A and B are shown apart, each in its own frame.
Chain A
Amino acid sequence: MTGDRARPWLLSAPALLLFAVMLVTPLVMTAILSFNSFDFYGGIQPTFGFSNYADVLGDSYFYEIFGRTFLIALVTTVICALIGTPQAYFLLRMHPFWRSLMILVVLGPLLISVVVRTLGWAILLGNNGVINEALRNIGLIERPLKMMYTSGGIVLALVHVMVPFMILAVWAALQRQDPATEKAAESLGAKPFTVFRRIVLPQAMPGILSGSLIVFSLSASAFATPAILGGRRVKVVSTTVYDEFLNTLNWPLGAAIAVILLVSVLAIMVAWNRLVEKRFAAVFQ
């Protein structure tokens, strides 16, 4: 029956249409744009070539920016895993009342705009910011610690933004584990830390790995946080794209950089996923 076949498509048509208009179209147009060329006097030329890609891939300036971006994303991911995993475990062990309260505390930041939160960090981290003033007043430092416009500052704020995603991913994995496995290990003579390291952590691993995937890709493409805390001095890929589009007005070059970012993040995600599946296929489904 053709009617029955068509029905699912008809029902999902509105969503598909929205998806096509809002996501696929701009992506395709960005991709096309990246093959055009740019002329300072004539603007965007409808030519087709790889000159923009050649420019990016042949310039150490861009390598530095890509390198910094991925390093910031990687360090953010590692710190999120180190903070988020124990925190998810504590949440699991909490009394139900405190647990629901703490989950609210963990997820609360997600309700506030990233821009607002990052401006908050700017107030804290500035040379005359709250942290430096406090350290100076108690006499620990004489000259302000430089935290604004550094990669470290960006990592700090990104961790704050991303850690809830890690906690949620690990939490989901921990909830799937049988709580009796911890008791079993204990009855076999394991001390609490051994139980955590040998029993809880390995079972949380799928959650840590999928959380890492989310945190890494979001951090690598984050814009607001590096834009506010890094400014022009500590550029990452997304702020570079922004500058190409709005300052230099070299849209094709900006598009090429964006496409390279998209493709490399995708490649890292796919490779990571493969690795994880291979490693854990026998153990977890």
Chain B
Amino acid sequence: MAILELRDLTKRFGETIAVDRFTLSVEKGEFVSLLGPSGCGKTTTLQMVAGFETPTSGSIALNGRDLSKVPARARGLGIVFQTYALFPHMTVEENVGFGLEMRKVPADERKRRIAETLDLVHLSHLSARYPRQMSGGQRQRVALARALVIEPELLLLDEPLSNLDAKLREEMQLELRRIQQEAGVTTLLVTHDQSEAMALSDRIAVMQGGRLIQEATPFEAYDRPTNGFVSSFLGKSNAIDAHLEAGGPGAAQLRCGDIRLDGPVSSQGPGAVLVSLRPERIEFCGEGEGIVSGTVVERVFLGDQWLFKVKTGLGELLVVRRNSGRREPDLGEAVHLSWQAEHLRILEAGSAA
């Protein structure tokens, strides 16, 4: 059974609709991410679940119980804020113990649970420190421990890693996943960072303009986006405007200007479409084997991979090659590109970001 069920959740601020008929359910033990660009309503959604904003309409149910009349302090959720919101005048131990104190947990049990949770986030040695005396990553762990120690039914995380530098962020991603799995806590994460959402979640809910656009596993969302926005927001992607020719069932025939392309099997009717192609699915090949040819107009070396921009009859295509020590085409060099028809995704026209 779903632990959390959001149904047609809507929030207006005057004229702006921050969240628009948002429906989502989260299963027990699952790690779900709300992913979307800044301003798409992620924080507002989370705040409504937490009880700090009142929905304009729609419902939120936790374990089948309607939350609309339950104040934030009685929802029993663990929340990690973007700023961490640690209590600056309390030590790590006092910060983590605050929720237990509010629940009137006896002192000896409180002590034991604080110690256990600090152990889980690897902070036992710093329990007497004040937040000001800690690094960003350590504060993050304190915030996590403070939210987990009350054994919440649901953990809410609002952009928890966005205040960390890139290297620490990657470390904390792994850490966060480990902690979440060890604690076995159902988690709802909000982020605008697609790599974070993909690395951490069991399921991603992509949001745009307050609406849910696609809900899928990270692999599915990346590999089978249902929408041009999703395909360009999750990783890099080439978007090609094309026309789907009339044809029976079976492989689609696409026309882009005077170039004809074989498409994947598609049930879509004929008309204008958007074709999406991941840059890492494109290969360089010999003359005659290619689907299109063009010239390299940009070439960037990224260490583990090469990034090319190739000017072709389909427009400028982005090509990513793993750096395997081979010689790669030079700037201005004529190249031939090929890919497999099933790697093309046929999406609704005009749905790109």
Contact (Cβ within 8 A) A282 B98? no
Tell me the residues in window 57-93 of chain B with beta carbons closer than 8 Å to chain A beta carbons.
72-79, 81-83, 85-89
With A183-B81, A188-B146, A282-B133 as contacts: A202 and B89 at CB distance below 8 Å: yes
Within the complex, what minimum Cβ distance (angstroms) separates A238 from chain B?
Answer: 37
Q: What count of chain A residues pass the 8 Å CB interface test? A: 23
Residue of B89, B102, B132 near A189 (CB, 8 A) is B102
With A178-B85, A199-B87, A202-B89 as contacts: A187 and B133 at CB distance below 8 Å: no
The yes or no answer to A54 lying at the interface (CB within 8 A) is no
Of B51, B73, B76, B78, most buried by chain A (CB within 10 Å of CB) is: B73
Q: Determine the chain B residues whose CB is within 8 A of the CB of A186 once the complex forms.
A: 52, 72-73
Contact (Cβ within 8 A) B81 A185? no
SS class of chain B's interface: helix, strand, loop or mixed?
A: loop
Give bound CA distance, A184 to B47, whole Å: 12
Contact (Cβ within 8 A) B81 A188? no
With A282-B130, A282-B132, A283-B132 as contacts: A187 and B89 at CB distance below 8 Å: no
Q: Determine the chain B residues whose CB is within 8 A of the CB of A191 once the complex forms.
A: 73
With A180-B81, A183-B85 as contacts: A188 and B130 at CB distance below 8 Å: no
Give the A-B contact count at a CB cut-off of 8 A. Answer: 72
With A188-B102, A188-B150, A282-B130 as contacts: A183 and B72 at CB distance below 8 Å: yes
The yes or no answer to B103 lying at the interface (CB within 8 A) is yes
Contact (Cβ within 8 A) A181 B98? no
Contact (Cβ within 8 A) B89 A283? yes
With A283-B88, A283-B89 as contacts: A187 and B132 at CB distance below 8 Å: no
Nearest residue, chain B, Cβ from A280: B89
Within the complex, what minimum Cβ distance (angstroms) separates A200 from chain B?
Answer: 10
Give bound CA distance, A163 to B99, whole Å: 35
Nearest residue, chain A, Cβ from B50: A187
Residue of A181, A194, A283 near B85 (CB, 8 A) is A181
Q: Determine the chain B residues whose CB is within 8 A of the CB of A198 once the complex forms.
A: 98
With A183-B85, A202-B89, A282-B133 as contacts: A189 and B99 at CB distance below 8 Å: yes
Within the complex, what minimum Cβ distance (angstroms) separates B101 from chain A?
Answer: 9
Q: Determine the chain A residues whose CB is within 8 A of the CB of B86 once the complex forms.
A: 181, 184
Q: Determine the chain B residues whose CB is within 8 A of the CB of A190 once the complex forms.
A: 73, 98, 102
The yes or no answer to A203 lying at the interface (CB within 8 A) is yes
The yes or no answer to A60 lying at the interface (CB within 8 A) is no
Give bound CA distance, A191 to B104, whole Å: 13
Q: Determine the chain B residues whose CB is within 8 A of the CB of A180 once the complex forms.
A: 81-83, 85
The yes or no answer to A284 lying at the interface (CB within 8 A) is yes
Can you list 19 residue pairs at the A/B interface with Cβ under 8 Å?
A: A178-B85, A180-B81, A181-B86, A181-B87, A181-B88, A183-B72, A186-B72, A187-B75, A187-B78, A188-B73, A188-B98, A189-B73, A189-B99, A189-B102, A190-B98, A203-B88, A203-B89, A282-B133, A284-B89
Q: Which residues of A contact B (CB under 8 A)?
A: 177-178, 180-181, 183-191, 194, 198-199, 202-203, 205, 282-285
Q: Which 5 A-B pairs have the closest CB atoms?
A: A189-B102, A180-B85, A188-B99, A184-B85, A202-B89
Given contacts A186-B52, A188-B73, 7 further A-B contacts (CB under 8 A): A180-B81, A181-B87, A183-B52, A186-B73, A189-B74, A189-B99, A205-B89
